[in-house]
Structure 1
Amino acid sequence: MARMLNFMPELEPNELQYIQSLVENLSDEDAKQFAFIYRARRKKPQEVLILIIVGFLLIAGLQRFYLGQIGMGLLYLLTGGLCLVGTILDLINYKRLAYEYNVKEAQKVLSMLHY
């Protein structure tokens, strides 16, 4: 786990564990390349949280657009965050939303590296 921790110290513990399991068979050079690409594509949970809070005040669903969930973003936008219930649930689960997005992106990056 120390190898990815050296490349990406900003990762949350559960995300670090998942990423380490993905890259455990890669060489150091490939792991560095993975970390470089993944860092550019991943979403930080704090940014998702900020967008959810903005959704309470201005435009509901921004966090869903940010995470690439266009359909859910439109639904939240048109229904006021599903009458704020969905926005409240997203507020509670913002780390999970970011983690699920990041898992998909990590898998895409790994497939780009042909592994």
Structure 2
Amino acid sequence: MYNSPFMMLPGISPQEFSYLQTATTGFNEQQLNGFLMIYSSKRRSPDDMILYCVLGFFVPGLARFLVNQIGMGILYFLTYGLCAIGTIIDLVNYKDLAFEYNQKMVFESLQMVKMGNRIQ
């Protein structure tokens, strides 16, 4: 676990670590490096998400926009974070927001790596 290239990702949780290991099972070193390069550029760190959620009190919906939940972001923006209750809930669940977004980014990154292998 400590020698894994996934450990270089800032704020990685054990849940995300095991998800990444499962998703990249059978990858060679070149594929793994390509995946990490793509995934690390798309990933949202839970440490950053808590900052975005706090900033959501000043810019309602910021965290939702950053995890590509545009509809919820607009709703939060127009209702001031559902009267700040939604923003508080996001602040409590910031790790889940980051993990759900990162799961989607793992899938996209895997697809890009697989497409890159087909082209070569």
Counterpart of 1:52, as a letter, is: C
Task: Give the whole-Å Cα distance in 1 for the aligned partners of 2:72 and 2:21.
Answer: 31
User: Contact 1:8–1:35 (CA<8 Å) still a contact in 2?
Assistant: no
Q: Name the counterpart of 1:9.
A: 8
Task: Give the whole-Å Cα distance in 1 for the aligned partners of 2:2 and 2:20.
Answer: 12
Q: Tell me the matched-pair count.
A: 113
Percent of aligned pairs with the same amino acid: 41
Moved over 4 A (4+): none
Q: Name the counterpart of 2:93.
A: 93
24-33 vs 8-17, which deviates more?
Answer: 8-17
Alignment gaps of 5+ in structure 2:
116-120
RMSD between aligned alpha carbons?
1.6
1:65-114 deviation digits (Å, cap 9, x = unpaired): 11111110000000010111111110110000000000000011101122
Q: Name the counterpart of 2:64.
A: 64
Q: Secondary structure at the match of 1:113?
A: helix
TM-score (norm 1): 0.90
Task: Give the whole-Å Cα distance in 1 for the aligned partners of 2:23 and 2:6.
Answer: 14
The Cα shift of 1:29 comes to 1.3
Q: Name the counterpart of 1:43.
A: 44
Query: 1:29 and 1:2, CA in 2 relative to 1: closer, same or farther beyond 3 A?
Result: farther
Query: 1:19 and 1:107, CA in 2 relative to 1: closer, same or farther beyond 3 A?
Result: same
Task: Give the whole-Å Cα distance in 1 for the aligned partners of 2:7 and 2:106.
Answer: 13
User: Contact 1:7–1:32 (CA<8 Å) still a contact in 2?
Assistant: no
The Cα shift of 1:2 comes to 5.3
TM-score (norm 2): 0.87
Alignment gaps of 5+ in structure 1:
none
